[in-house]
Amino acid sequence: METEPHKLSDLPMPPRDVPQNKRQAKVADILRNRQDLVVVLESLFNPNNIGAIVRTCDSFGVGRIFYIGQTIPHLKQRVSISSTGAEKWVEIKQMDTITDCYEILRQKKYKICTTYDGPKSINIMGADFTKPTAIVMGHEHRGVSKEAFEGADFNVRIPMQGFVRCMNVSVACGIILYEATRQRKLI
């Protein structure tokens, strides 16, 4: 026996207004569970990558991003589109230099981790992300600067099996945030 397809009007509709106290409680709960992780974006230029990273940060409870470099006038609108609204919940602080950013992070007792695949880099599974950590993601083509690399406390790499030795910056950020969250036993 064939069933007729449901009409939109047949489906139960969620309440139009969530009571304010429930919404406020949910927002308070999410903000209370923010992680002491920070993402630093050094000279990224693609607003789609930046927007995807903002959305990923929100998903993993990361409430702050430092953006190093000059802002591009059309960047904010394009990031907003890619982040699907997450930019409302993640603070993005623009800074001129990596040195200024590192100074603020060190004052707040953050360990600084760059993403760099080199001889001194450790596998992300062997890194300790359980303490307050800033994860520095580099430029889409050049990676992190020499200054960022040399000023970091440690450097990580993502193990890969293919021929290509790098991945999209937003994907790499998501993998590292997943590992940091897993180590903290939050997922």
Q: Is residue 25 part of a domain?
A: no
Q: Is residue 161 part of a domain?
A: yes
User: Helical H runs in the chain?
Assistant: 20-32, 47-59, 75-83, 98-107, 146-151, 169-183
Determine the number of helices (DSSP H) and then strands (DSSP E) in the chain: 6, 7
DSSP annotation of 62 reads: B
Q: Is residue 22 part of a domain?
A: no
CATH number of the domain that residue 149 is part of: 3.40.1280.10
Residue 26 is predicted with a pLDDT of 80
Q: Is residue 149 part of a domain?
A: yes
Tokens describing residue 48: 């789609």
Q: Is residue 23 part of a domain?
A: no
Cα 152 to its chain centre, rounded Å, is: 18
Averages of pLDDT over each 10 residues, the chain, 187 residues = 45 53 80 89 90 93 91 58 67 93 97 91 96 96 95 96 91 97 89
Q: Is residue 108 part of a domain?
A: yes
Tokens describing residue 111: 């360990």
Q: What is the pTM of this model?
A: 0.83
Q: Is residue 18 part of a domain?
A: no
The alpha carbon dihedral of 173, 178, 179, 180 has a sign of positive
d(CA 13, CA 47) in angstroms, rounded, equals 35
Residue 15 is predicted with a pLDDT of 53
State the residue range of the domain holding 57: 35-183
The number of distinct structural domains making up the chain is 1
Length of the chain: 187
